[in-house]
Amino acid sequence: MAEGQGAAGHPGESADVRKYFYYIKEKVSSDWKDLAFHLWFEQPDIDNIEGRNQDDKSRCMDLLEEWLKRNGERATIEVLMEALSEANLQSVVDGLRRKLQDVFQKSVKKYYQLKLSHFKPLIWNDNFTLTLSDIFTQLELVPASEKQLKTSEPTREEQRKQLKSLDDLFNPDVTGLSAAPRCILIEGEAGGGKTTFLSKEALDAVSQKTELGKRHNVVLLIRLREVREGETIEEMVWDQCVPKRKDVTIESIETILEQNESRVLFLLDGYDELRPEARAARQAIPKLLSGKLYPNSTIVITSRPSAGVQQHTRPDCHVNITGFSRTYVEKYMQQYFTAVGKHELTKTLAEHVRYNELFNTLIQTPMFLMLVCVLWEEDQEMVSTGTMTGLYDNLLTCLVRKYCEREGVDMPTEGLPTEVAESLLQLGKLALEALLRNETLLDLTKVDRAKVSWELLLKLGVVSLEVSSSRLHPRKQLNFSHKTMQEFLAGRYVAHALLNQDIVELLQLTSITKALELSNLLQFTCGCHSRAAQDVMEELSRLSKKEFSQLQPDDFHLPTHSLIMEMSHLPVKPEIKKTVEAYRRFVLLCLDVLNETKEPGVLKTVSRGLPVIIVDLRRDSKQHAALKYYLENIQSSHVPDRLILEVLPVPALQYLEQIFTSPIPRLRLDLRLKFEKFNSPDEMIWLVSVLKNVPGLRALDLSSTFLTPSSLQPLVQVFSHMSLLEELDLSYNPYLGDAGMEVLQVGLSSVPRLAVLRLKGVNMTAVGMSSLAPYMRHLVGLRELDISHNEIGDTGLESLTTILPIFTAMQVLVLGRIGISPTGMRTLVPVLCQLTRLIKLDICGNAIGDPGLECLAAILHHLTAMKVLVLSRAGISDRGISSLIKALPHLVQLQVLDVSRNNIGDSGIVSLVQTLCQPSSLDMEQNPPGDKSLTTAPHCNTTLQGLYIGGNRGITGAGLGRVAQLISALPALTRLDMSGYLYTPAHLSDTAAMALAEALPRLPALELLVLYHISMEPAGFQAVVQAAKNHPTLETLLCGCPDRCPPVWTPCVPSSLDPLCKYTSRCKVSGPQMWLSQQVPSSLDPLCKYTSRCKVWLSQQVPPSLDPLCKYTSRCKVPPSMDPLCKYTSRCKVWGPQVPSSMDPLCKYTSRCKVWGPQVWLSQQVPSSLDPLCKYTSRCKVPSSLDPLCKYTSRCKVWGPQVC
């Protein structure tokens, strides 16, 4: 009886199971008795059913109804399917599973459409509704900060790409990936629209409007804030993704996910909101991310930056969500103002926000855009406050006024109604507590316990009521209209509470990191009360002195964005890099605080906390007003030690004119104006007028600014106003030439304190050098000179050497690519030995050869302070390197050595590395008295941090294998280049590759590993890649053949695809893992490969005798009469069916090369010793024994069938 009531009590659930009865009846029929037995029916029951029905189908239906009646809620589809399986009715089970999957997919789709499609943003306006499907959010593909396996260094343009949608991530031209991404990380600040974006992606995917939807049958949106400790993935799906129904159970979900694993898409929303206990390694979400669960599924996960996703996975793609697209801002303004009957306001508001940096940040989320529209509708003057606090304060006043009008409550002329004010303060306290817990939602039960009038707050519109997406743990929550609204209300409360409480206790403000996390809250707090601002800045100033005291002004030189550019520079400690970045963010926070409270006391405290101010006027445009106020009002006794400004766009240049309106005594300014155009005297005169107000100009960077001799003239003429100038950079201005040097030389006597002069790539010749040199005698304090990339030759060098001995303080001398010969080195070397403070010498790209290096090596014992020695592309062989090896023991402080791209062979490279691996005398001196640990420990060099030995003509796989065995004795290495030679790539055996893989963990500080032009067997390559992935600090692994083809990025190549060839639009790229031979495992035959212009695939219907070597392009069909092994490209001639049988069918064609005749084919009998990756170019000789095996293209000689 109870069972019957249970069934009756859940008619919907009974119907869910019952709807499958008809299908089962039709399929089971005469086997119904077997099914009855496995459903635990006794024989009398079976006889009874048989007697009261006329046929088997009726008996089967009667059986099922009786089973349902008896078992009620226990009568699940899983129980029924188990019984069918035990009755050997597997075909019925399979059919039911297909039906269940269809039901599941339709349930998910309907559930999403019901819950996600529309929302009403304004509680008081029923006429205004937003449709989620219309919302467009901007995305930006960024280079992942985690490890990347690349075949080329990214260019500035490649570093960040705007995406039209997530569909772009499945285009290899956009991502550079060889396979579709498995894990996509989308990061954005709180309130940036991540949840809205993912909801839209879920809706579009289940409707198959997107590539994600077309590639996946099962789309699952999971709000991670609802996930509890111990929940399984299947429980999360049942809880959040489908409505309650009896035929969709946790067991059936597990079956569906397992059967469709490669077609399952997980949309995980808000990793930063995942409870700490649910982030543990053994919990379901971390296991899903790491691939321990459903490894073949696809994951899109959103998070705030630095929330820790990378602890569990290294995403294939890293996307920044940059907010609501500006393209659509005006559309939604129009939608709102039309709904309220004031459509004419659209144009005026659109015009206002277009040039308002504060608004451009806020309106990137639809909800806040609507609130700005409300404020504009109310009073346009209330929008133009200039501060975040003023804007939010006006918005709050507007919302309260609307509430008072609707509810008939009197609105006081000053302040807020008492009940409203008290409720907002109580809400602010709860908002603060949630912020400190890193939460954005308030549980309604906690709000009730705090006796907060949440109904009133809902009517105000500052929060909305939301029911959690969890059915297992349903709860009501208050959600703020925007993260910044939560921070504003919390800031109001903090400003009030600081009258009686200590800020450190109230905010747990114990570090700069914590202050940066709470930056918006601190701004609002300071904007609400000047006394609070003073308290906040006093504490920030104290933290600044404590955490940034070790930084020196020179640490703030802006880093280059290029890995290769950094290779020859002095290494920077990772902790310094991290601290500098934190300091830059801290500067912006202090300026933001100053902008909220422009008062003398706050200004004074800000100046104490910022000994150096560094601002990028392009990126940091929000801080313009604060910086202007700072410079206009700062007292001379409080000016910073240094002000560093980087200026790129024209508006920022105009801003310079606004802030430097009059001289600022004692201000030391570093001004960087890269990439701005100063190719006419008028433009330079304008800049000079600004610089006259900065008599304390310390550094001026005009590199890459299109300078000409005539445009340089006005600047040189005012050098007399820049007597304190210490650094001048005119690099990469090729229009200057010798005439520009004649202009420059006149002004050098006016800048006697000049310590850094950079003239790289200014098109100077020996004539320019000889005219400039005598005027450089005034620069007795010169510490750095860079004249690289100028054709001055030995003659110009001779002019320079006449004055070099004057520069006794010289530390950095860069003479790369200036045309020095061995003769020139004999002139230079006697002068160099007088520069005993030299810490960096760069003579790369000069054909000094072995004689030149031997001259240099002979005097290196005088240069014991040397830290960086760059000798790349200098024509050095084993003979020259042996002389350097003998001198190395004198360079006890050597941190970077670059001998790459020379003619050194295995013997020279191995001897060099062996010598470097010996502990320096500096290492030995670090032993405490009586401590002999370094003498008894394995030999190692703890000083060397950068070693570049790649690209040497004579290097082979054997030599690199020996290097791999040695480098463990260089534990301080941060950068290592051990590439092969461009035209004869080195092949690393599995033994050598394994040695390299084993060495990587013993290089604990390694950040960059370059392995260009090296081939490896699949096993060895896998070992190296795995060791790189597991390395704690290795950020970048560069490999492949970047000089031959466009870059192919493979940040996270699935292990199953490693050995497959990757193609670009014009060439076939071969690397260690990238070839097709007849020995390709059969399991890889049908895998698709994509190029940027056509699709190249391996058909599953390739006859076994042909293996996976037949390739077809998308532009041609292979006539049946033709040999199926012929390859076609979209541009080259097509071979006919009359291919001689004696020819090997493995010829490859490129789109540029000629089609060869029979005489250039390779037989299948390629000696095993030649397999698989040796390549020859037209510039090297082919051994006679190999002649018959060579193929010729128009650009290179390429080895055999197995090489792409």
Give the CA diameter of the chain: 121
Residue pair 937/950 in contact by the 8 Å Cβ criterion: no
pLDDT the model gives residue 490: 97
What is the rounded average pLDDT of the residues 567-572? 64
- Are residues 237 and 376 both part of a single domain? no
Which of 15-24, 119-128, 691-700 is modeled with the greatest confidence? 691-700
Could you tell me how far CA 468 lies from the centroid of its own chain? 32
- Are residues 173 and 273 both part of a single domain? yes
Inform me whether the pLDDT recorded for 1182 exceeds 60: no
pLDDT tens digits, 692-715:
888 899 999 999 999 999 999 999
Instruction: Tell me the two tokens of residue 777.
Output: 């005698």
pLDDT the model gives residue 362: 65
Interacting residues of 673 by C-beta distance below 8 A, sequence separation 6+: 647, 653, 687, 700, 701, 702, 705
Domain end marker among 477, 512, 547: 547
Inform me whether the pLDDT recorded for 20 exceeds 70: yes
**3-state secondary structure at position 492:** helix
593: how many CB neighbours lie within 10 A of its CB? 24
Instruction: Tell me the two tokens of residue 453.
Output: 């009038």
Q: Which tops the pLDDT comparison, 1053 or 749?
A: 749
pLDDT tens digits, 316-370:
888 887 766 666 778 778 888 887 888 889 888 888 877 666 666 667 666 677 7
Cα 830 to Cα 782: distance, rounded to the nearest angstrom: 19
Domain end marker among 270, 294, 324: 324
- Are residues 309 and 382 both part of a single domain? no
- Are residues 449 and 392 both part of a single domain? yes
Domain contains 21: yes
Cα 572 to Cα 566: distance, rounded to the nearest angstrom: 10
Report how far apart, in Å, the C-alpha atoms of 872 and of each of 839, 879, 898, 1156, 1175 are. Answer: 17, 15, 6, 39, 24
Instruction: Tell me the two tokens of residue 52.
Output: 């009261």
Cα 407 to Cα 398: distance, rounded to the nearest angstrom: 14
pLDDT the model gives residue 1190: 39
What is the rounded average pLDDT of the residues 832-853? 96
pLDDT the model gives residue 955: 94
Phi, psi dihedrals of residue 559, rounded to the nearest 5°: -75, 150
> Residue 72's domain is classified under what CATH number?
1.10.533.10
Residue pair 993/1017 in contact by the 8 Å Cβ criterion: yes
Which region among 427-441, 786-800, 847-861 has the lowest average model confidence (pLDDT)? Answer: 427-441
- Are residues 269 and 408 both part of a single domain? no
Cα 1100 to Cα 175: distance, rounded to the nearest angstrom: 27
Domain contains 669: no
pLDDT the model gives residue 367: 65
What is the rounded average pLDDT of the residues 1035-1040? 82
pLDDT bucket at 763, cuts 50 / 70 / 90: very high
What is the percentage of the chain residues whose pLDDT exceeds 90? 39
Domain contains 437: yes
Residue pair 582/177 in contact by the 8 Å Cβ criterion: no
- Preceding peptide of 1124 cis, ω within 30°: no
pLDDT the model gives residue 513: 92
pLDDT tens digits, 986-1037:
999 999 999 999 999 999 999 999 999 999 998 999 899 889 988 988 888 8
Inform me whether the pLDDT recorded for 736 exceeds 50: yes
Q: Closest Cα partner for 712 from 689, 749, 690, 744?
A: 744
**Can you give 272-298 as a three-state secondary structure string?**
HHCCHHHHCCCCHHHHHHHCCCCCCCE
pLDDT bucket at 123, cuts 50 / 70 / 90: low
Could you tell me how far CA 290 lies from the centroid of its own chain? 19
Phi, psi dihedrals of residue 658, rounded to the nearest 5°: -75, -35
Cα 1107 to Cα 1081: distance, rounded to the nearest angstrom: 9
**3-state secondary structure at position 1118:** coil
pLDDT the model gives residue 160: 56
Inform me whether the pLDDT recorded for 735 exceeds 60: yes
Residue pair 785/754 in contact by the 8 Å Cβ criterion: no
Q: Which tops the pLDDT comparison, 6 or 527?
A: 527
829: how many CB neighbours lie within 10 A of its CB? 19
**Residue 569: is it exposed, middle or buried by C-beta count within 10 angstroms (0-12/13-18/19+)?**
middle
Which secondary structure element, helix H or strand E, spans residue 131, and what is its range? strand 130-131
Which region among 35-39, 120-124, 148-152 has the lowest average model confidence (pLDDT)? Answer: 148-152
pLDDT tens digits, 481-531:
778 889 999 999 999 999 888 888 899 899 999 999 899 999 999 999 999
- Are residues 176 and 245 both part of a single domain? yes
Cα 33 to Cα 47: distance, rounded to the nearest angstrom: 10
- Are residues 297 and 375 both part of a single domain? no
pLDDT tens digits, 246-300:
667 888 888 889 989 999 999 999 898 888 899 998 999 999 998 999 999 999 9
Q: Name the domain count of the chain.
A: 3
pLDDT tens digits, 1064-1095:
222 222 233 222 222 333 333 333 332 222 22
Which of 241-255, 558-572, 1114-1128 is modeled with the greatest confidence? 241-255
- Are residues 393 and 507 both part of a single domain? yes
pLDDT the model gives residue 1050: 29
Residue 140 per-residue DSSP state: E
- Are residues 399 and 286 both part of a single domain? no
pLDDT bucket at 940, cuts 50 / 70 / 90: confident
pLDDT bucket at 1061, cuts 50 / 70 / 90: very low
Which region among 584-593, 923-932, 991-1000, 1159-1168 has the lowest average model confidence (pLDDT)? Answer: 1159-1168
pLDDT bucket at 830, cuts 50 / 70 / 90: very high
Domain contains 780: no
Interacting residues of 1046 by C-beta distance below 8 A, sequence separation 6+: 152, 1064, 1065, 1066, 1092
Residue pair 728/744 in contact by the 8 Å Cβ criterion: no
**Can you name the residues that pair with 319 across neighbouring β-strands?**
141, 186
Inform me whether the pLDDT recorded for 168 exceeds 90: no
Find tokens 């807020």 and name the residue: 416
Q: What angle do CA 357, 358, 363 make, to 5 degrees?
A: 100
Domain contains 556: no
What is the rounded average pLDDT of the residues 673-677? 82
Helix 388-407 vs helix 519-528: crossing angle, to nearest 10: 70
Domain contains 102: no
Which of 974-983, 1079-1088, 1127-1136 is modeled with the greatest confidence? 974-983
- Are residues 449 and 480 both part of a single domain? yes
What is the rounded average pLDDT of the residues 562-586? 73
Domain contains 127: yes
Cα 768 to Cα 694: distance, rounded to the nearest angstrom: 30
Cα 416 to Cα 410: distance, rounded to the nearest angstrom: 10
| CB hemisphere CA count around 132 (13 angstroms) | 20
Cα 992 to Cα 1020: distance, rounded to the nearest angstrom: 8
Domain contains 1203: no
**3-state secondary structure at position 557:** coil
Instruction: Tell me the two tokens of residue 582.
Output: 């934190």
What is the rounded average pLDDT of the residues 802-819? 96
- Are residues 377 and 465 both part of a single domain? yes
Q: What is the pTM of this model?
A: 0.73
What is the rounded average pLDDT of the residues 605-611? 91
Alpha helix locations (H) across 136-189? 156-159, 172-175
Instruction: Tell me the two tokens of residue 970.
Output: 């260089």
- Are residues 337 and 318 both part of a single domain? no
Cα Rg for the chain, rounded, in angstroms? 36
Domain end marker among 297, 324, 351: 324
On average, the pLDDT of the chain sits at: 78
Cα 608 to Cα 544: distance, rounded to the nearest angstrom: 9
Please give the residue range of the domain that contains residue 164. Answer: 114-324
Q: Closest Cα partner for 1037 from 1009, 996, 1007, 1073?
A: 1009
Q: Which tops the pLDDT comparison, 276 or 1192?
A: 276
Inform me whether the pLDDT recorded for 664 exceeds 60: yes
**Can you name the residues that pair with 1016 across neighbouring β-strands?**
988
Q: Which tops the pLDDT comparison, 1067 or 59?
A: 59
Q: Closest Cα partner for 229 from 279, 266, 268?
A: 279
